[in-house]
Amino acid sequence: MATVGENVKAEENLEKKNLESLRMAVNREDPDAKDHDDLTLRRFLRARDLNVDKAAALFLKFLRWRREFVPKGSISESEILNEIAKEKMFGQGFDKKGRPISVVIGARHTCFNRDIDEFKRFLVYVIDKICSRLSGGQEKFVVIGDLQGWGYANCDIRAYLAALEIMQEYYPERLGKVYLVHAPYIFWTAWKMISPFIDNNTKKKIVFVENKRLKETLLEDIDEAQLPEPYGGKLPLVPIHQS
């Protein structure tokens, strides 16, 4: 019987072998693949459970999407002025694993005054901004989703599904953890509608935090000096475009 260490080694060897196969496959199909390092390819490989064919299809889809959706290489603030004005996304400190923290205020997003294409551009701008803060080999970030005051006006299923698609299809293995705080009872109606579209790996990273254990729970993973002020920490909220 193989030991735990032997199983881990075998898994690492399989990943290395499949990564080499993935590299050859995507380089053959799309010259832009050469602009992305092995760490990026590895995330796509892991997102498809080390299946080379599925990972290659996902990565090539990402390359096509990136060329079409972000033709200039990045989203400028001039393209998302309405979304920025709502100040619903914030860039914060880092958790104990060195993962960047962002905060989203759910009640500041409403379905009646948003343009879905601008919303998608804003999401890409935000994710790219957060990823630019990754360092030291860290590949993931964490999110505090604050749902205080969330109501029917904030229930935008189309936008939520768009966000899920962008995260799961184009930024696989970037999300480390999501803390959903101050979730009102009414939110569960929306959750039942969108949860079937969330893959199992992502679901495992979502934590609904009890109000009475809010600070205690967040402090398990985030030092008080790095925790945003609204949750009992020391850092003031900084809008994402200013972070």
d(CA 52, CA 47): 11
CA angle 53–57–59, rounded 5-degree value: 115
Q: Which fold has domain 4-69?
A: Helicase, Ruva Protein; domain 3 (1.10.8)
The DSSP secondary-structure symbol of 241 reads: G
Burial of 173 from C-beta contacts in 10 A (0-12 / 13-18 / 19+): middle
Q: How far apart are CA 177 and CA 175, in angstroms?
A: 6
Query: Could you tell me which residues come within 8 angstroms of residue 207 by beta carbon, excluding any fewer than 6 positions away?
Result: 177, 178, 179, 180, 217
User: Which residue bears the tokens 């001039």?
Assistant: 78
Mean pLDDT in residue range 186-200: 94
With a CB cutoff of 8 Å and minimum separation 6, the contacts of 194 are 157, 160, 161, 164
CA 223 from centroid of its chain's CA atoms: 21
Give mean pLDDT, residues 144-166.
96
Span 57-70, pLDDT tens digits? 999 999 999 999 99
Is the pLDDT score of 214 beyond 80? yes
The domain limits of the chain are 4-69, 77-242
- Does position 10 have pLDDT exceeding 90, yes or no? no
> How would you classify the pairing of strands 100-105 and 141-146?
parallel
Query: What's the pLDDT score for residue 2?
Result: 64
Question: What is the CATH superfamily name and number for domain 77-242?
Answer: CRAL-TRIO lipid binding domain (3.40.525.10)
User: E strands along the chain, which residues?
Assistant: 89-94, 100-105, 141-146, 175-181, 206-208
Are the C-beta atoms of 177 and 141 separated by less than 8 Å?
Answer: no
pLDDT single digits (tens) 71-130: 999 999 999 999 999 999 999 899 999 999 999 999 999 998 899 999 999 999 999 999
Are the folds of 4-69 and 77-242 the same?
no
C-alpha to C-alpha distance for 102 and 61, rounded to whole angstroms: 27
Report pTM: 0.93
